[in-house]
Amino acid sequence: MEVEQAIRGRRTHKAYGSERVDRETLGEILDLARWAPNHHLTNPWRFRVIGPVALERLKRAAGPEAAAKLDRAPTLVVCSCVLGGDEIQDEEDLHATAIAAYIVLLAAHARGLVGYWRTPGVLRTEEGRAAVGLGPDERFVALIHLGHPVQERTAPEREPAENVTQYLD
């Protein structure tokens, strides 16, 4: 798949088939994520693939209403960033981790999978963080839903580039 095609064709999906993403494919996708640009090569990203026991803990922490959204996709990946305490490096590492999360979405798309980047509040609570093993030095970045598509999605209209771009002399 061409890079431009992947960027323009990737869509957020909220409905998935029931089949989990197999471990080998998931490993390939997460391996690609480590190629995100990263100042000083700190490799700050951490990925946790949520299994059934961790999912039940997370659903309990989320409460009944929010728990239903955690059942949308058969494969969930928590993406976090390890912070070292240096304000500038931590900011750079957070941005690098966000790029790594986006690489996960693009790599999944290139393999015919679909995804959804979420930031549910439960992963900013003590109970939610404990449910997935986030340490005190980690910042939650994304809960990535992955799976096989059950529908086609078309691209929404986007703001023209000239409306959001400035060329400075």
- Pairwise CA distance, residues 37 & 114, whole Å: 23
**∠ CA 91-125-78 to the nearest 5 degrees?**
60
Output the furthest CA–CA distance in the chain (Å, rounded): 56
DSSP state, 154? P
Structure tokens at 100: 């790594």
Q: Of 3.40.1050.10, 3.80.10.10, 3.30.70.1560, 3.40.109.10, which CATH number belongs to 3-151?
A: 3.40.109.10
User: Tokens representing 152?
Assistant: 């086609």
156: pLDDT confidence band, cut at 50, 70 and 90? confident
**How many residues appear in the chain?**
169
**Phi, psi (5° rounding) for residue 6?**
-65, -45
**Considering the entire predicted model, what is its pTM?**
0.93
Question: pLDDT at position 152, please?
Answer: 86
Phi/psi region, residue 144 (left: phi>0; alpha: psi -120 to 50; beta: rest), is beta
Mean pLDDT throughout 144-165?
90
Q: What is the mean pLDDT of the chain?
A: 95
Band (135; pLDDT cuts 50, 70, 90) = very high
Determine the Cα–Cα distance for residues 77 and 49; give it in Å rounded to an integer: 5
**Could you read off the pLDDT of 101-131 as tens digits, one per residue?**
999 999 999 999 999 999 999 999 999 999 9
Comparison of pLDDT for 20 and 4, the residue scoring more = 20
